[in-house]
Amino acid sequence: MWRLTLFLPFITIIGCSPLIPQNHLEEVDPIILPDSAEPVELLLLTGLVYNGPPCDGNEIISCELAEVNWQGIADCSDLILPTGDLLKFESIAEASRSIDLNGSPMTLTYSGSGGSEAMLTFKKKSIYGRIKLHHDRTFIIESVSSQVVWAEIDESVWDDQPIDVNLSLPNNTLSIIPEDRMEQFRIQGIADRNSVAEYSVTVYYTSTFRKFTADPETFIEQVIAETNQGYVNSEIPIRVRLHCIAESDIHDGQDSSETLSQFTKSQVIITHNVCSL
């Protein structure tokens, strides 16, 4: 089951808007799904080991190049994994409204026996996904150049560790919600535990992330989808929506406090001028 902790190398996420109850949002047309199809193979493994990003971390157990069955994904077919496990198509994630290989990224959810589950986000010929199998194995799918990698990972290397961050912000850098307004939100939250609220985020990524990520937008959409699934699984009535994506000029590899300080000084001021999807 997805947790709410995100592992986002080279990415910073900041909030863009306050929580908005879903019953205040504009209604959308219901999603119409295609007819079901027979299970199909998701990937054709090439037998070639891959050692570049994203398969160069300590969490990687194995990593192999593969070809994708794009039509099977677009048809919302049930999928057979390289492990032999069967995943049944469940739904199109909330943020995606139509099946369109040439449009915005779309996220599909799947389930299997024993609690296995998967989320795949794709657009045109790029795909990012995470598969958690019932026998305690986790795999990722990520686009690299004209192919994808099928990698098994050890998530235990990401066990939460305390981070000591000493952040000094310049005066008037961030606009905050007035205290009386914050109290109003607090009271509303205590009184209403059922209404689902939304908040939006802006995602900044570094040039290093762009260099090693075939499709940053689709990758980020996958992270957003996993976050929302974590909220659902944890029965937390909150959903996150992507406001915009922008590249930051902050360099990687710095102390966390220095990185956050530089980001705050240089990026927040120009947020509304650089954001684009």
Of 95, 92, 29, the closest CA to residue 242 belongs to 95
CB 168 within 8 A of CB 69: no
**Banded model confidence at residue 233, pLDDT cuts 50, 70, 90:** confident
Does pLDDT of 212 surpass 70?
Answer: yes
Does pLDDT of 29 surpass 80?
Answer: no
Domain boundaries, the chain: 11-25+161-274, 40-158
- CA–CA separation, 143 and 171 (whole Å): 42
3-state secondary structure 96-153: CCCCCCCCCCEEEEEECHHHCEEEEEEECCEEEEEEEECCCEEEEEEEECCEEEEEEE
Q: What is the pLDDT of residue 274?
A: 57
**Banded model confidence at residue 265, pLDDT cuts 50, 70, 90:** confident
**Banded model confidence at residue 88, pLDDT cuts 50, 70, 90:** very high
Dihedral (Cα; 100, 228, 54, 166), 10-degree rounding? 140
- CA–CA separation, 13 and 19 (whole Å): 16
Residue linked to tokens 């995470």? 130
Q: Determine the residue type at 248.
A: S
* Mean pLDDT for the chain overall: 79
Q: What is the pLDDT of residue 19?
A: 41
Q: What is the pLDDT of residue 179?
A: 78
Model confidence pLDDT, tens digit, residues 94-139: 654 344 455 678 899 999 999 999 999 998 889 999 999 998 999 9
> How many whole angstroms from its chain centre is CA 52?
21
**Banded model confidence at residue 170, pLDDT cuts 50, 70, 90:** low
Q: What is the pLDDT of residue 255?
A: 79
Q: What is the pLDDT of residue 25?
A: 37
Please report, in angstroms and rounded to a whole number, the separation of the first and last CA atoms in the chain. Answer: 29
CB 95 within 8 A of CB 221: yes
CB 238 within 8 A of CB 185: no
Least confident of 46-60, 226-240, 263-277: 263-277
* Assigned token pair, 9: 């190398």
User: Residue 235 gets which letter from DSSP?
Assistant: T
Least confident of 48-62, 232-246, 262-276: 262-276
Q: What is the pLDDT of residue 152?
A: 97
Does pLDDT of 250 surpass 80?
Answer: yes
Dihedral (Cα; 110, 4, 213, 274), 10-degree rounding? 120
Model confidence pLDDT, tens digit, residues 54-65: 999 999 999 999
Q: How many residues comprise the chain? A: 277
Residue linked to tokens 């080279």? 10
* pTM of the full structure: 0.76
